[in-house]
Amino acid sequence: MKSMRFREAVREAIAEEMERDDRVFLMGEEVGQYQGAYKVSEGLLERFGERRVIDTPITEAGFAGIGIGAAMVGLRPIIEFMTWNFSAVAFDQILNNAAKLRQMSGGQLSVPVVFRGPNASARQVGSQHSHAMEHFYVNVPGLKVIAPATPADAKGMLKTAIRDEDPVLYLESETLYSVKGDVPEGEHLVPFGKARIAREGTDCTLISYSRMVHVCLDAAEALAAKGIDCEVIDLRSLRPLDEETIVASLTKTHRAVVAYEGWPYGGVGAEVVDRLQRLAFDELDAPILRVTTMDVPMPYNAKLEQLVIPQAHRIIDAVERVTYRRT
Amino acid sequence: MKEAKTALEMYRMMLLIRRFEEEAARAYSLGKIGGFLHLYIGQEAVAVGAAHAMRPTDSVVTTYRDHGIALARGMTANAGMAELFGKVTGCSKGLGGSMHFFDAENRMYGGHGIIGAHIPLAAGVAFASKYTSDGGVTMVFYGDGSASIGATHEGMSLAALWKLPIVFVCENNQYAMGTSLERSISVTDMSKKADGYGMAKDRFVAEDVFEIRDRLKDAVERARRGEGPTLVEILTYRYRGHSMSDPAKYRTKEEVEDYKKRDALNQLRAELAASPETAKDVEALEAAVEAEIAECVRFADESPEPTADLLEPTTYAGEFAR
Ligand SMILES: Cc1ncc(C[n+]2csc(CCOP(=O)(O)OP(=O)(O)O)c2C)c(N)n1
Ligand SMILES: [Mg+2]
């Protein structure tokens, strides 16, 4: 095991895969000379040169499309969005090209591209820069959507993503980049479609992913002090979704709360709730609750922003409801 | 001194913008401002020249580097600083922040965070002027880094095709974050893009605020006459980093110092101080600006924060659509 920050884990995955396979390259805004807007790609230009670490102008639809086109003919591009907010500009490329080429070509074509970058809220960056974009993308068949919470998964899942034959959207978080954790040494690959049990417990299942896993763990600590023992599940793979692990946990706890960033209308959380009620209806002792970003655009004011973003106290409140400690 | 009164007024506004930005930087380091803060220091002459080229009934739309044009269009320093402090007395009630200054009364329609996305929006404002024959002209600002993205191209294509009353002002400050001009665009004379759209064009260095005003005014009046849009590229420079978190290691100290030597604000001040007509007014004016800046910081500090009851009514006009 080696302790490193999330940022370094992402970087190491990119570097190892670039070392291993000349078809892998990194492209995006400020990834090279500037060393990455959030310093994820620091040192990679020096190490791999301009052929493989490519700075782009501000042209998301353009370089996302170039990534998809190059992947279609055999390269393995890693396309960085400075933040996922800007992927909206390239949404058509991802929706209509990346996700569709395999099926509409009758299976002749593959698009092994990875799109990555920080997602969801940062700090006071306002309504246009705080989007949790995964909820739009998980809706699309043909895409895989990954959102790790720890350095180990960050590294292992990005390596899996780069080797995957399909387009993978890999979501990081600005507020996770400095989080430290142990990462296995040597070849480390984490498969998609397998959730991780971040904390074992018996009274209630907390389901989350990305940064919010850490908030759930905080909430679980506080709840343990109140005598409620929560199991925390880190989905980490949003599509494919690991039904088995969440159903198994629910079968043990009979109660669940899903906590994540993003608006309450539809999205990943609604999908989890739908599957649980279909697959494990008889196990439920209470309605499943969701703790989400409030149903409004993100305000700039710091206190309002914190109000709108899901917090540990809202998770605690939801757990107390589903365990009938509170009505 | 030509147009002494206007010169003093333009100097006052340029100084107000610079001092506003300097105080904003200070407040940011004290933690009173959060998120992204993109300063306009070095580019003041563009906003002030532009504002003087327009009528109050004309409109402006700009990027996240928006404090300068907002103030130049008549937003009070109080409303601007309070917005940065996230207070309810701010121009956008503390909900928008630095990147999203809005002032509908002065026809300042933002403050936009997504590169290029505001260009079609501005063309829409110009479309409305043409549709209603209200005689208004729209001026839209964008950076050198925003010239290549699709929305910019589509907005310009339509504006030129339909001869919309709009002026596209490219504030070419040589850098898009850490990417220098030649690394971001294949033809660095960006005014040449106008040729492809069949638009009029202009291109000059932002050294003299009067020149900026006059040349933009030509473009504004061309638009008003129904002769279609103009693309005006103004060569300028930002003295600070892209935002507060950018140490700007991609350029040399000498380069920055070189630009500062040709600072439009200092040049105008030197002219005003040298002219017997205006010399006596300069210091009083500067004292007034200092007072205005001190007042806006005090106002922002003491203003109340917005409360949660604002969130839903600012999301939908009527009943919240759940
Ligand atoms: C679509 C999109 N991609 C990326 C960004 C991130 N970003 C914000 S400002 C900026 C640089 C813009 O440079 P320029 O257009 O020259 O304007 P300046 O900052 O110099 O005023 C970038 C890359 C963004 N806001 N929107
Ligand atoms: Mg620029």
Are B114 and A301 within 8 A, CB to CB?
no
In a domain, A311, yes or no: yes
pLDDT at A326: 82
Q: Are B151 and B122 in contact (CB under 8 A)?
A: no
Are A218 and A130 found together in one domain? no
Q: Which atom of ligand 1 is nearest to the CA of B172?
A: 16
Q: Are B218 and B202 in contact (CB under 8 A)?
A: yes
Q: Among residues A162, A183, A204, which one ends one of the domains? A: A183
Are A134 and A44 found together in one domain? yes
Residues, beta carbon < 5 Å, ion ligand 2: B 143-145, 173, 176
Q: Give the separation between CA A315 and CA B89, rounded to whole angstroms.
A: 33
DSSP-derived secondary structure letter, B152? H
Q: If you take atom 8 of ligand 1, which residue's CA is the nearest one?
A: B115
Partner B contacted by A212 (CB < 8 A): no
List of chain A residues whose C-beta atoms are within 8 Å of the C-beta of residue B307: 304
CA A215 to chain centre: 15
pLDDT at A87: 98
Are A265 and A123 found together in one domain? no
pLDDT at B1: 82
Are A245 and A291 found together in one domain? yes
pLDDT tens for B233-275 read 999 999 999 999 999 999 999 999 999 999 999 999 999 999 9
Q: Which ligand is nearest to the CA of A89?
A: 1
Which own/partner pairs from A64-67 qualify as long-range (CB within 8 Å, at least 24 positions apart)? A64/A90, A64/A93, A64/A94, A64/A98, A64/A115, A65/A90, A65/A93, A65/A97, A66/A27, A67/A27, A67/A113, A67/A115
From the CB of residue B282, how many other CB atoms can be counted at a distance below 10 Å?
Answer: 17
- Residue A71's domain comprises 2-183
Are A167 and A41 found together in one domain? yes
In a domain, A188, yes or no: no
The encoded tokens of residue A172 equal 């990081």
Q: Which ligand is nearest to the CA of B172?
A: 2
Q: If you take atom 19 of ligand 1, which residue's CA is the nearest one?
A: B176
Q: Give the separation between CA B217 and CA A54, rounded to whole angstroms.
A: 41
The encoded tokens of residue A14 equal 């990119």
In a domain, A124, yes or no: yes
Q: Are A78 and A45 in contact (CB under 8 A)?
A: no
- List, edge to edge, every strand of the sheet that includes B59-63: B108-112, B59-63, B138-143, B166-172, B230-235, B200-205
Report the percentage of chain A scoring pLDDT > 70.
100
How many domains does one find in chain A?
Answer: 2
In a domain, A191, yes or no: no
Are A79 and A175 found together in one domain? yes
Are B178 and A34 within 8 A, CB to CB?
yes
Residue A169, strand partner residues: A115, A145
Partner A contacted by B224 (CB < 8 A): no
Q: Please, is A262 exposed, middle or buried when counting C-beta atoms within 10 Å of its C-beta (0-12, 13-18, 19+)?
A: buried
Are A238 and A167 found together in one domain? no
Q: Give the separation between CA A325 and CA A318, rounded to whole angstroms.
A: 10
Q: Are B55 and B165 in contact (CB under 8 A)?
A: no
In a domain, A234, yes or no: yes
The encoded tokens of residue B17 equal 């913008």
Instruction: Please tell me the distance between residue A286's alpha carbon and the centre of ligand 1 in angstroms.
Output: 47
Domains in chain B: boundaries: 4-311
Distance from CA of A215 to the nearest CA of B (A): 21
Q: Give the separation between CA A25 and CA A53, rounded to whole angstroms.
A: 6
Q: Give the separation between CA A130 and CA A123, rounded to whole angstroms.
A: 8
CA A132 to chain centre: 9
The architecture of the domain spanning B4-311 is 3-Layer(aba) Sandwich (3.40)
In a domain, A237, yes or no: yes
Are A170 and A218 found together in one domain? no
pLDDT at A78 over 90: yes
Partner B contacted by A311 (CB < 8 A): no
Are A29 and B179 within 8 A, CB to CB?
yes
From the CB of residue A263, how many other CB atoms can be counted at a distance below 10 Å?
Answer: 17
Are A246 and A311 found together in one domain? yes
Instruction: Please tell me the distance between residue A34's alpha carbon and the centre of ligand 1 in angstroms.
Output: 14
Distance from CA of B235 to the nearest CA of A (A): 19
The residue ranges of chain B whose pLDDT is under 50 are none
pLDDT tens for A236-274 read 999 999 999 999 999 999 999 999 999 999 999 999 999
Q: Are B80 and B108 in contact (CB under 8 A)?
A: no
pLDDT band at A327 (very low <50, low <70, confident <90, very high): confident
CATH number, domain with residue A293: 3.40.50.920
Partner B contacted by A179 (CB < 8 A): no
From the CB of residue B302, how many other CB atoms can be counted at a distance below 10 Å?
Answer: 11
ipTM score of complex = 0.97
Residue of B34, B113, B177 lying closest to A302 (CB–CB): B34
Q: Are B321 and B313 in contact (CB under 8 A)?
A: no
Q: Give the separation between CA A69 and CA B196, rounded to whole angstroms.
A: 27
pLDDT at B2: 86
Among A34, A58, A60, residue to substitute to test ligand 1 (most atoms within 8 Å of Cβ) = A58
Q: Which residues approach ligand 1 with their CB closer than 6 A?
A: A 29, 58, 60, 82, 86, 89; B 63, 65, 113-115, 143-146, 173, 175-177, 242
Instruction: Please tell me the distance between residue B203's alpha carbon and the centre of ligand 2 in angstroms.
Output: 15
In a domain, A147, yes or no: yes
Q: Among residues A135, A151, A183, which one ends one of the domains? A: A183
pLDDT tens for B187-221 read 999 999 999 999 999 999 999 999 999 999 999 99
Q: Which atom of ligand 1 is nearest to the CA of B63?
A: 21
Q: If you take atom 20 of ligand 1, which residue's CA is the nearest one?
A: B176
Are B185 and A29 within 8 A, CB to CB?
no
Are A236 and A99 found together in one domain? no
* Active site residue ranges of A: 60, 129
Maximum separation of any 2 CA atoms in chain A, in Å? 60
CA angle A142, A148, A152 (to 5 degrees): 125
Q: Among residues A183, A206, A232, which one ends one of the domains? A: A183
Are A202 and A171 found together in one domain? no
In a domain, A190, yes or no: no
pLDDT tens for A193-243 read 999 999 999 999 999 999 999 999 999 999 999 999 999 999 999 999 999
Among B242, B243, B245, B246, residue to substitute to test ligand 1 (most atoms within 8 Å of Cβ) = B242
Are A175 and A200 found together in one domain? no
